[in-house]
Amino acid sequence: MSGNMNLTLKVWRQKNKDDRGKFETYPVQHISPDMSFLEMFDVLNERLINEGKDPVAFDHDCREGICGMCSMFINGRPHGPLQGVTTCQLHMRSFKNGDTIVVEPWRASAFPVIKDLAVDRSAFDRIISAGGFISVNTGNAQDANSIPIPKDDADAAFAAATCIGCGACVAACKNASAMLFVSAKVSQFALLPQGQAERQERVLNMVAQMDAEGFGSCTNTGACEAECPKGISLSNIARMNRDYIGAQLSVQKA
């Protein structure tokens, strides 16, 4: 089986959020370079199960870079060494035969470890519930061409909406800030006519929930954008800050 790889994995094992956790070392052999990173973990887990040991817990669903669940910190980077890909899109050909690969969960107090590499990201769900939606009664659906939207605004809204909520931005930030995620979810509505009715209420509520969840402050280092698999722009944070200040001033005047 020429071209197959032998690797050493150092994997974080933690029973639950209260356990201290530790690294365990696992050799994996005969790994095809064409396997995805998660398929490689499937091979490891199958071996562990056959040996009567506890498999490594990790999140996954679509395995197509859509769901955002495959949250792994690989050799010190969220989703691994490549830009613009999620862990499930990372292939073993990105590593070399004989490499040692260190795999950890997201590190953030707002993302408590459920087990091993799986973390609880329900904080993101609560932020969305605080305002990441449109609830005004708009009547029947209108034809798309009947609501004129400048192309630049439409493109920016679509780009913001591509955020998959994986949490890589939080994992990359030294303060575990969720500003990139929240600003993307705010911007995708703030840029469109349908989102104007609740624009001020939305940004106030979502930022308040973000703070309540315990995420840190924005560091302005740009690590979040650099590690985001969808390339969400920092300009969304600037837009959200402007909206937030404007909404606060409006509330004070009222």
227 three-state secondary structure: helix
Q: Using one digit for the tens of pLDDT, what is the confidence trace for 190-207?
A: 999 889 999 999 999 999
Closest CA relative to residue 130, chosen from 205, 33, 190, 55: 205
Q: Using one digit for the tens of pLDDT, what is the confidence trace for 59-105?
A: 999 999 999 999 999 999 999 999 999 999 999 999 999 999 999 99
Q: How many Cβ atoms from other residues are within 10 Å of residue 245's Cβ?
A: 11
**187, 156 Cβ separation under 8 angstroms:** yes
209 three-state secondary structure: helix
CA 142 to chain centre: 32
Tokens of 117: 């590499």
What confidence category does residue 1 fall into, taking pLDDT thresholds of 50, 70 and 90? very low
Residue 147: its pLDDT value, please? 77
Q: Does domain 5-115 have CATH number 3.10.20.30?
A: yes
Residues constituting the chain:
254
Specify the pairing of strand 100-104 against strand 77-78: unpaired
Task: Compute CA distances 162 → 16, 34, 71, 101, 193, whole Å.
Answer: 31, 27, 17, 29, 19
**What is the rounded average pLDDT of the residues 128-150?**
80
**Over the chain, what is the mean pLDDT?**
95
- % of the chain exceeding 90 in pLDDT: 89
Residue 143: its pLDDT value, please? 73
- % of the chain exceeding 70 in pLDDT: 96
Q: Alpha helices of 168-220 — where are they, by DSSP H?
A: 168-172, 179-190, 199-212
What confidence category does residue 138 fall into, taking pLDDT thresholds of 50, 70 and 90? low
H or E stretch at 69 = none
Q: Using one digit for the tens of pLDDT, what is the confidence trace for 10-69?
A: 999 999 999 999 999 999 999 999 999 999 999 999 999 999 999 999 999 999 999 999
Task: Compute CA distances 1 → 6, 31, 193, whole Å.
Answer: 12, 10, 58
Task: Compute CA distances 83 → 5, 200, 213, 224, 231, whole Å.
Answer: 23, 34, 28, 12, 9
In the chain, CATH 3.10.20.30 sits at: 5-115
156 three-state secondary structure: helix
CATH class of 121-253: mainly alpha
User: Within 13 Å and on the Cβ side, how many CA atoms surround 28?
Assistant: 30
Residue 254: its pLDDT value, please? 66
With a threshold of 0.75, does the pTM exceed it? yes
Helix axes 179-190, 199-212, angle to 10 degrees: 170
In the chain, CATH 1.10.1060.10 sits at: 121-253
